[in-house]
């Protein structure tokens, strides 16, 4: 199931900020741990490592919405999305922690099979050049475009 985080696609968006495991299960989110003791970098790495496609995003950001729309509506790709603006101070910590990992603090940030791809402009350019779909397929991600 594709997980997209914009308001238009929020059916099962993952919000980790204050959810306990019990609260997570009651919302249909499986295998969620709280990361208060492990830090934002651990959460980032865990999200990237446990999902073939991961997006760090903000719900109100038009560039984020454009990237998520490309993945969910056009390519019909399953992906994990963390909407940082819905996570309180943890979202702020995650966004700050993305800088040393990616060289960028802005969102969206896309990872495919653990590899940092870039933001919306980078992803849209790869798609326009015909490189995004082969990259997804090479990572074993089903694309239903």
How far is it, in rounded angstroms, from Cα 35 to Cα 102? 21
Q: Is residue 81 part of a domain?
A: yes
Task: Note whether residue 2 is domain-resident.
Answer: no
Does some domain include residue 47? yes
Residue 59 lies in a domain: yes
- Record the tokens describing residue 9, joined without a space: 């696609």
Indicate whether 145 belongs to any domain: no
Print the domain residue range for 43: 7-138
CATH number for the domain that contains residue 81: 3.40.30.10
Structure tokens that stand for 118 in this block: 């870039």
Q: Does the reported pTM lie above 0.85?
A: no
Strand order, beta sheet including 109-112: 80-83, 53-57, 109-112, 115-118
Residue 1 within a domain: no
Does any domain span residue 85? yes
pLDDT tens digits for range 76-124 = 999 999 999 999 999 999 999 999 989 998 999 999 999 999 999 999 9
pLDDT of residue 105: 87
H/E segment holding residue 132: helix 132-138
Residue 143 lies in a domain: no
- Name the domain count of the chain: 1
């Amino acid at each position: 199931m594709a997980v997209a985080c914009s308001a238009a696609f929020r059916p099962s968006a993952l919000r980790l900020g204050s959810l306990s495991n019990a609260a997570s299960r009651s919302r249909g989110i499986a295998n969620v741990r709280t990361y208060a003791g492990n830090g934002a970098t651990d959460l980032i790495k865990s999200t990237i490592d446990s999902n073939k496609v991961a997006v760090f995003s903000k719900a109100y950001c038009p560039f984020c919405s454009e990237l998520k729309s490309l993945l969910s509506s056009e390519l019909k790709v399953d992906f994990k999305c963390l909407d940082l603006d819905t996570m309180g101070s943890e979202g702020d910590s995650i966004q700050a922690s993305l800088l040393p990992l990616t060289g960028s603090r802005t969102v969206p940030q896309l990872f495919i099979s653990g590899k940092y791809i870039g933001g919306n402009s980078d992803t849209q350019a790869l798609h326009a050049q015909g490189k995004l779909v082969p990259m997804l397929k090479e990572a074993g991600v089903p694309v239903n475009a």
